[in-house]
């Protein structure tokens, strides 16, 4: 992850404008489960932001995530749609999400969100980062419903290429990934 972030920063990944393209099959792009059955709690709906690393989730009243800002490129992606953004150097960045998951356990107040990106490709000034990732956020939502303390585990399968080096691995450990603590604040209600 540190290599991915360093390469992304060295690429100066500042993405502007762009378009979203629906994928062929948008059915079941976000799975929502409440432990023990029942409806997803409405108090969890809203925009959840982590200032550190730039993550953001827009959670709807039914528990689906309607959009997310991912840390790599700080790009807003929508489930079931490929997002393409031009980079500052005139190249392209492409983000294709996979299946996403939201799980809530009422007995513990624990919320889990899993964001899978099936394909990411960022090209800028002759440098390329390409691959896929799965990011999982697990932790309790505070009784106030405004703070969510998570353990963020990322599993990346990225390859980097530069004019100086043909290809180099930017992946995390495939078994353990890379884990950090990350706090989300609820910016608004859904």
Which tens digits make up the pLDDT trace of 111-163?
999 999 999 999 887 889 999 999 999 999 999 999 999 999 999 999 999 88
Helix, strand and coil percent figures for the chain, each rounded to 5: 10, 55, 35
Render pLDDT for 43-81 as a digit per residue (tens, 0 to 9): 999 999 998 999 999 999 999 999 999 998 899 999 999
Rounded CA Rg of the chain: 17
Q: What 8-state DSSP symbol labels residue 124?
A: E
Residues 150, 184: Cα–Cα separation, whole Å: 8
**pTM to 2 decimals?**
0.83
- Position 23 pLDDT exceeds 70: no
Q: Quickly state the pLDDT bin for 10 (edges 50, 70, 90).
A: very low
More confident residue, 28 or 157: 157
Q: Which residues pair with 56 in a beta bridge?
A: 49, 69
List the Cα angle 96/173/112 in 5-degree steps: 60
In the chain, what percentage of residues exceed pLDDT 70? 85
């Amino acid at each position: 992850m540190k290599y991915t972030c360093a390469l992304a920063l060295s690429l100066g990944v500042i993405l502007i404008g762009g378009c979203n393209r629906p994928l062929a099959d948008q059915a079941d792009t976000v799975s929502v489960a409440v432990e023990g059955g029942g409806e997803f709690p409405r108090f969890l709906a809203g925009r959840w932001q982590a200032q550190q690393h730039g993550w953001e989730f827009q959670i709807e009243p039914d528990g689906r995530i309607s959009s997310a800002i991912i840390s790599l490129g700080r790009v807003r992606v929508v489930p079931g749609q490929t997002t393409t953004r031009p980079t500052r150097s005139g190249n392209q960045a492409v983000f294709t999400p996979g299946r996403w998951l939201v799980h809530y356990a009422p007995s513990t107040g624990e919320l889990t969100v899993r964001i899978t990106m099936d394909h990411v490709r960022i090209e800028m000034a002759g440098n390329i980062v390409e691959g896929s990732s799965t990011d999982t956020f697990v932790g309790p939502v505070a009784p106030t419903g405004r703070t969510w303390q998570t353990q963020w585990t990322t599993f990346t399968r990225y390859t980097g290429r530069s004019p100086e080096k043909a290809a180099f691995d930017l992946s995390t450990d495939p078994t353990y990934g890379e884990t950090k603590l990350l706090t989300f604040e609820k910016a608004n209600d859904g």
